Amino acid sequence: MKSRHFLSLAFFGFKTILFRQKKPILATIILTDSCNLSCRHCAVNNITGRMLSYRDVLAEMQAFYREGVRILFFCGGETLLWQDGGKNIRDLMKEAKKMGFYLVNLVTNGTLELNIPEADVLFLSLDGNRESHNLIRGDTYDQIMRNLNRAENCNICIYMAVNKLNYRHIEEVCQQAKEHPHLRSISFNFHTPYPGTESLTLDAEEKRVAVAAIKKMIVKGMPIFNLPSALDTYLENHWSRPCHQCVVSENKQRYLCGRCVEIDGLCRQCGYLFAVEFSLLCAGNPRAIYEMLRTYLKYI
Ligand code: SF4
Ligand code: SF4
């Protein structure tokens, strides 16, 4: 990240803490809910099958920029399926950079070619070792590995959603993130029990085991893109939500924090660690700020 962008984000954080501002800085645009997979933990794929038009994506990006958002995510469905009139995800990333966003990231299931050097961070969903990943996401592990082996010049972060089927494989995936030449980091979330996916939720003891495994890996120097303070806070389930600094846009409809905000009672069971981290940072938690400076900057 450029140092002037870092200073600008630091100033935003300072104002947020001091004046208890509730302005967003991070936005996610959902380009489509179309997806070539049907993962066991997913409740948002292939509901409308719509693709946002190129014009509408640009308009939403411009609106977010005017509103002060500087960190942008593109998401799906499967993000890399998005196209409109000959434009693809790389065109959107270039436009976003031209508009002035500091960080432009995307999330992908990795089953399509991963040649997107414009992404500041490419979050690649990998939910365990071959066995647990395929159990959750269908028989896709080997295809993802082939795409990963071919992906050069990309800053790729594994994005692992921890649930009952894969929480024992955390150490294995961390090792892979450390050793694979095309992987730079790994980021964890915990399963958030959308209706119909409750059976994948970890119980209290399993959460403790998973958090202990992640913290052990942090101590061992694995490239983990999460804050230890947020892991502790997640276990205590004592943090302010929804996050007012994050906003999601789907089909031109806006949601504060996540699409999940409208599902009754779900926020109390939230496993999205970014929401925990933003909550701590925006409340001025000194430990989280210190860890953020040591962690985020290494991988962006
Ligand atoms: S790849 Fe993502 S959007 Fe598609 S089914 Fe899996 S979790 Fe859902
Ligand atoms: S806190 Fe945010 S990310 Fe978590 S469930 Fe609620 S809306 Fe979703």
- Find the 72 Cα to ligand 1 centroid distance in Å: 19
Domain spanning 24-299, CATH architecture? Alpha-Beta Barrel (3.20)
Alpha carbon distance 193, 271 (integer Å) = 8
Predicted confidence (pLDDT) per residue in 129-152, tens digit: 999 999 999 999 999 999 999 998
Alpha carbon distance 116, 150 (integer Å) = 12
Alpha carbon distance 281, 288 (integer Å) = 6
Residue 1: predicted pLDDT:
83
Ligand 1 atom nearest residue 111's Cα: 1
Q: Does pTM top 0.85 for this prediction?
A: yes
- Find the 130 Cα to ligand 1 centroid distance in Å: 17
Which helix (H) or strand (E) segment holds residue 103: the answer is strand 103-108
Residue 93: predicted pLDDT:
97
Q: Which residue stretches of the chain have pLDDT < 70? A: none
Measured from the alpha carbon of residue 160, the closest ligand is 1
Measured from the alpha carbon of residue 111, the closest ligand is 1
| Residue 291 one-letter amino acid | E
Predicted confidence (pLDDT) per residue in 234-263, tens digit: 999 999 999 999 999 999 899 999 989 999
In this structure, the residue with its CA closest to atom 1 of ligand 1 is: 109
Radius of gyration for the chain, computed over Cα atoms and rounded to the nearest angstrom = 18
Residue 299: predicted pLDDT:
87
- Find the 243 Cα to ligand 2 centroid distance in Å: 7
In this structure, the residue with its CA closest to atom 6 of ligand 1 is: 39
Query: Which region, left, alpha or beta, applies to residue 84 given φ > 0 means left and ψ of -120 to 50 means alpha?
Result: beta
Helix and strand numbers (H, E) in the chain are: 10, 10
Q: Is 283 helix (H, G, I), strand (E, B) or coil?
A: coil
76 CB less than 6 Å from ligand 1?
Answer: yes
Residue 296: predicted pLDDT:
83
110 CB less than 6 Å from ligand 1?
Answer: no
